[in-house]
Amino acid sequence: MDQATLTLRGRLQPRDAWQATGCPIAKAMDVIGTRSAFLLMREAFYGTTRFDEFARRVGVSEPVAASRLKELVEVGLLRRSPYREPGQRTRDEYLLTEMGEDFFPTLAALMQWGDRWLGRSGVELRHDDCGEALHVELRCEEGHRVDVGEIALVERRHPKG
Amino acid sequence: MDQATLTLRGRLQPRDAWQATGCPIAKAMDVIGTRSAFLLMREAFYGTTRFDEFARRVGVSEPVAASRLKELVEVGLLRRSPYREPGQRTRDEYLLTEMGEDFFPTLAALMQWGDRWLGRSGVELRHDDCGEALHVELRCEEGHRVDVGEIALVERRHPKG
């Protein structure tokens, strides 16, 4: 094979010796595994907080937006916060939680990949302080930049540490 | 708002002034927007190449595996390559393309997020050379590590460059 794959070490090699149970990718896709959920999260990072704006900007029907936002709140990516405009009834807005904010690297990685392989979009992410373009990269704790072919999948040293 | 969101600059602020047309996240989710597609890509990085192994290791039916693998080939993430074992007919295996290899940071980001927020799994990614744990991070071209609250979304300087 000339493709770059991960190196599986120890009990993980050969692959058939273990089941990918508790796979964090599977668990993540179980809780946010739809196109509309990803796009609602995108909107939250763009500063959208109100129900009707989420629905309009993502381009989904209000029932779909309601259902997905409810799921994102239940999972813990968003939280509801009441607001009230003069003469209106109290409504909820949707704000990112810490768990939600931590989802940003996944969106940034997908954005980088889509931009590279499916056609460049008209917008880009920049570091606000210095103005330079942003990218997602893989680094180890020693600070080395790491390519796919240099990665090992191993059993965790401290499974519940 | 106390949440960390991107800073939208120029024509992008206020958000209602523009449509997120050509959004690379939307385009990416259009082509690989299912749990099983993500898990088939995971398996490709684990070194799986054969149809029946993809189906078994991801835990999907053969028709679902066939349909998803066909889509991943059509999009360009995987390519078919014929192989033949003694006394058997020629079959195709599925190998990562360059476009497919470049999808790894998205999987790594999702894995990191799932591990942190949905329960740690028993495996982890390490830099094979030095043995240190791997993580996904956002950096600008100047090499600064960047947090969500320090990011601006701007119109691309060279839209088609």
pLDDT for A75 equals 96
pLDDT of residue B35: 94
Min Cα distance A89 → chain B (Å) is: 20
Contact A137 B136 (CB under 8 A): yes
Which ranges in B33-90 belong to alpha helices (H)? 35-45, 51-58, 62-75
- Does residue A12 surpass a pLDDT of 70? yes
Distances from the Cα of A87 to the Cα of A49, A155, B72, angstroms? 20, 58, 52
Q: What is the DSSP string of A79-101?
A: EEEEE--TTS--EEEEEE-HHHH
Nearest Cα residue in chain B from A115:
B24
Residue A32 near residue B119 (C-beta atoms within 8 A)? no
- pLDDT by residue for chain B (161 residues), tens only, comes to 567 899 999 889 888 888 888 899 999 999 998 999 999 999 999 999 999 999 999 999 999 999 999 999 999 999 999 999 999 999 999 999 999 999 999 999 999 999 999 999 989 999 999 999 999 999 999 999 999 999 999 998 765 54
Local confidence band at A22 (pLDDT 50, 70, 90 cut-offs): confident
SS3 assignment, position B156: coil
User: Residues A113-130: pLDDT tens digits?
Assistant: 999 999 999 999 999 999
Domains (range + CATH), chain A = 7-153 (1.10.10.10)
Q: What is the pLDDT of residue A52?
A: 94
A134 token code pair: 């942003």
What was the ipTM of the complex prediction? 0.94
Beta bridge partners of A138: B136
CA distances from residue B46 to A109, A115, A141 in whole angstroms, order as listed = 20, 25, 22
Does the pLDDT of residue A1 top 60, yes or no?
A: no
pLDDT value of position B153: 95
Which of B30, B52, B73, B123 to probe the A interface (max A CBs under 10 A)?
A: B123
* Distance of residue B61 Cα from the nearest chain A Cα, in angstroms: 16
Q: Which residues contact A13 (CB under 8 A, 6 or more apart)?
A: A7
